[in-house]
Structure 1
Amino acid sequence: MKESWRWYGPLDKISLGEIAQTGANGIVTALHEVPYGEVWSRETIAARKAEIEAAGFDWVVVESLPIHERIKRGEGDLSALFANYRQSMANLAAEGIHTICYNFMPLLDWTRTDLAAPVDRGGSCLRFSAPRMAALEIFMLGRDAARRDYLPEVVAQAESWFQASSDDERAGLMHAVMAGLPGAYDRYDADGLRTALKLYEGIDRAVLRSHFKRFLEEVIPTAEELGMRFCVHPDDPPRDILGLPRIVSNADDIAWILGAVDSSANGLTLCAGSLGANPKNNVPAIARRFADRIHFAHLRNVRKDADGSFEEAAHLSGDTDMVDLVAALLEEEGRRRDAGRADCEIPFRPDHGHELLDDASRNTHPGYPLIGRMRGLAELRGVIAGLSYGRHQHQQR
């Protein structure tokens, strides 16, 4: 497995020189400064790639080449947006970058309600509180229909929190929910979010699926021609929020997507944390079921509560059996190696991480501290080494 690290380019508070000290050798990044829908020029891609290579890394995965919201909504004449997207793909391929991670989450990316929840023995983590999210939906945005999306006791807790909260606390909640948006893109206040949500009125699960299928039909043939691999990222959290349908949340969803355009170029980013936040998901089993279509992996762990809340756990101590999951990925690498595939190695990155020691003082992107992720990478490296040694010993017998 190829050790990689997410880097936000010039927007990142962590330098490539510091990343080199973690031991990772692949970079996962994007041109976050380019507005959605515009072409990534070959010159800009080449400049970013040269910067990465000069620091001793390979640019192994694009995360993400964003999909314009109009494509997700199926709004108007989309021919120019699809043409721009395909041109960006061609420019990336021309520079030798062939793996693209993307998501089809409407409006918001990953969503949390707390960016610095305390953890045992010090440090902090990202947390999704069902009561706080319900407070935002029902009482701050006035979405009374959201009551049926939460347990009754969660709604009661949400009302109590809302009644007791200050304007600053409510603003902090909105800021946390907006923090999942990457780069320098628009954030919303309550009024702005209400306005943005109106654009999705009438778009249910079936409609969003039809728009996703059209996207795949527009780009996967080009990916095949260019020798590229697309890998969809699961929803985070894997549940409907804000009245918006989420359609990449479980094994059935993944099966539908991979079958919508049945091609090896149409693959999966195996995100252990996103899938692991759904108590019905067995993440190692999902990995084994779709192993041949996994082009990239995000390895992190979560700890779930019965009310639908969850928080980021240390990489080896959450609800997902991380050792079994890594074993599943190594098994797939072995199959690819035995088949003579040149792309047998699966790139992965330690996803998210606790803020530890002086991480909080660096003001990095939420969830992407230096020390916390380096701890995660070190733990995962140990798991991989131990499993690989065991496989080697077994083969020698």
Structure 2
Amino acid sequence: MRQTWRWFGPKDQVSVDDMLQAGVEGLVSALHHIPTGAVWTPEAISQRQRDIAFMRDGAPSGLSWDVVESLPVSEDIKKQRGAWRAHIANYKRSLHNLRDAGIEVVCYNFMPVLDWTRTDLAYRLSSGATCMRFDLIDFAAFDIHILQRRGAVEDFPDTVTGQAADRFAAMNDAARTTLARNVVFGLPGAAEHFTLEDVRVHLAEYAVIPEQQLRAHLVDFLSEVAPVAQELGLRLCCHPDDPPFPLLGLPRVMSTEADYVHVMEAVDLPANGITLCSGSLGVRADNDLPGMMDRLGDRVHFLHLRNVTREGKALMSSFHEAAHLGGDTDMVALIAAVLRQEAKRRAARRADHSIPMRPDHGQDILDDLHRRAQPGYPAIGRLKGLAELRGIMTALSHPIANAGG
């Protein structure tokens, strides 16, 4: 498993120097300043590679840009409206430019409107650490009373709508503004920042796009770009929905193992692959993550390793970001499955036998609480997570473990 680290560019509060001290082997980054749908030019790609290649004092870092996360798919492509054909052409050109720069792994997602949804970006735990959290009652208060989405009330149980009304009534204007900002935060560092009115416009357009149609649009997109990636020797990997259940009346098409099987079979090319995110998929108790890795591992091109604690038993429930070894996902079993897959790849002499992984998200601890890095991407919290994951990898790979001694 190749140990990587997500970096949002020169403005990231966690520097290349910091990442080197964490012992990472490569970087995961994106050109967030380029508008979605536009071409990633060779010049822009090369500049990011130079940003990664040097420390603050000008010394070589020895690090490379290993994974793109994300080369975003535009809303026009997802809805097949407006400039969607031009955006697909631009996407293909960006793939060519990335391959010319030596980058082989490209992560993307097909979530409508918002890349991920949380109601609290700094939820305080009993330890004093903070983490990101999705509170179902807060979200219902946002959906019903702040966004005022038509039909929102029908999407929640009566007990939730009642509590949401009480929660909203108890909020002052500042609390309501903070909740709205948190929900529409989207992808950190992205070029686009949605307003509530932007969200309403997109929701109205998605109202006529059912789940089956959105899934067909994903297959259409992959039918165009996956053959290009295959020819170039690239590996595309789709990130799951986050959270993996319907929100805001929007369709969800990458939330379960069955969703991935459908898309992998519809465009059956090795380049059409999976970003297995244990945090996103782990929000659903019915997602068997070690089993998914065993069954679908041949097409897993990238790993996000993080953990969540589910706070309810229903499909749509509150949850929060746990310590990497402390949530509801059995991380030891999952990493064991990853190592089994890598052994199969080495035996088959696959060039991609080492799957890039990154410690995804992390709790803000110690100096993180004052650094104000991107929500979910602290320095020390992720360093702690990487150390824990590295320990599992090392122990499971040790000859003593393999010998059963």
Give the TM-score range, shorter chain.
over 0.9
Whichever residue aligns with residue 21 of structure 2, its letter is: Q
Q: 1:309 aligns with which of 313, 318, 323?
A: 318
Question: Are the equivalent residues in 2 in contact too, given 1:108–1:178 (CA < 8 A)?
Answer: yes
TM-score for the superposition, normalised by structure 2? 0.95
**What is the rounded CA distance, in whole Å, between the counterparts of 1:188 and 1:62 in structure 2?**
23
Q: How many residues are treated as equivalent by the alignment? A: 396
Match of 1:241 among 224, 247, 250: 247
Shift of 1:393: 4.1
**Cα displacement (A) at 1:51:** 2.8
Residue in 1 that maps onto 2:391: 382
Hey, what's the Cα distance between the residues in 2 that align with 1:28 and 1:221? 23
Show the counterpart of 2:20: 20
User: What is the CA-CA distance between 1:282 and the residue it aligns to?
Assistant: 1.4
Q: Does 1:360 align with 2:378?
A: no
Q: Distance in 2 between matches of 1:359 and 1:109?
A: 24
Aligned residue among 340, 345, 350 for 2:354: 345
For residues 274 and 122 of structure 1, what CA distance do their matches in structure 2 show?
Answer: 24
In 1, Cα distance between equivalents of 2:30 and 2:373: 16
How big is the alpha-carbon RMSD for the aligned residues of Structure 1 and Structure 2? 1.5
State the 1:339 CA deviation: 0.9
What pairs up with 1:75-154 in 2 under 5 angstroms? Answer: 75-76=81-82, 78-154=84-160
Aligned residue in 2 for 1:294: 300
Matches within 5 A, 1:2-17: 2-17=2-17
Write the deviation string for residues 216-258 of structure 1: whole angstroms up to 9, x where unpaired: 0110010011000000000000011111111100011011111
User: Gaps (5+ residues) in structure 1?
Assistant: none
What are the equivalent positions in structure 2 for 1:247-262 lying under 5 Å apart?
247-262=253-268
C-alpha distance in 2 between matches for 1:311 and 1:275: 13
Q: Distance in 1 between matches of 2:167 and 2:192?
A: 27
Q: Which residue of 2 aligns with 1:227?
A: 233
Q: Deviations over 1:58-110 (max 9, x none)?
A: 21100000111100011035332111110000000001101000000001001
In the aligned structure 2, how far is the partner of 1:185 from the partner of 1:174? Answer: 19
How much does 1:341 deviate?
Answer: 1.2
Instruction: Provide closer, same or farther for how the CA distance between residues 58 and 313 of structure 1 changes in structure 2, counting only shifts above 3 A.
Output: same
Kindly indicate whether residue 224 of structure 2 is the aligned counterpart of residue 218 of structure 1. Answer: yes
Shift in Å at residue 360 of structure 1?
A: 2.1
How many Å separate the matches in 2 of 1:94 and 1:119? 45
Secondary structure in structure 2 of the residue aligned to 1:34:
coil
- Inter-partner Cα distance in structure 1 for 2:346 and 2:295: 18
- Residues 174 and 189 in structure 1, CA contact (< 8 A), matched pair in contact too: no
The code of the aligned residue for 1:343 comes to: D
Matched to 1:13, the amino acid is Q
Partner of 1:21, secondary structure, is: helix
> SS where residue 151 of structure 2 aligns?
helix
Distance in 2 between residues matched to 1:120 and 1:289, nearest whole Å: 38
Instruction: Report how far residue 348 of structure 1 moved.
Output: 0.2
Structure 1 Cα separation of the partners of residues 118 and 331 of structure 2: 22
Correspondence 1:44 to 2:44: yes
State the alpha-carbon separation in 1 of the partners of residues 21 and 178 from structure 2.
34
Task: Write out per-residue CA displacement over residues 304-336 of structure 1, whole angstroms, 9 at most, x where no aligned residue.
Answer: 011500000000010000000000000000000
Change (3 A) 1:190 1:79: closer
Looking at structure 2, the residues matched to 179 and 10 of structure 1 have their Cα atoms a distance apart, in angstroms, of 20
| Long gaps (5+) in structure 2 | 55-60
Structure 1 position 179, deviation (Å): 2.1
In structure 2, what is the Cα distance between the partners aligned to 1:254 and 1:16?
34
Aligned to 2:338: 329
* 1:62-81 superposed matches below 5 A: 62-76=68-82, 78-81=84-87
For the residue of structure 1 that corresponds to 2:114, the secondary structure is coil
Provide Cα deviations, 1:344-376, integer angstroms capped at 9, x if missing partner: 000000000000012121111110000000000
Task: Using the TM superposition, name which of 82-91 and 180-189 deviates more.
Answer: 180-189
Instruction: Tell me the SS of whatever aligns to 1:290.
Output: helix
Contact persistence 2:186–2:193 (CA under 8 A)? no
Shift in Å, 1:121: 1.6
**Identical aligned pairs, as a percentage?**
48
1:196-211 matched pairs, under 5 angstroms: 196-211=202-217
- Provide the secondary structure at the position in 2 that maps to 1:297: strand
Alpha-carbon distance change, 91 to 353 in structure 1, aligned in 2, over 3 angstroms: same
Q: Name the CA distance, whole Å, in 2 between partners of 1:189 and 1:45.
A: 29
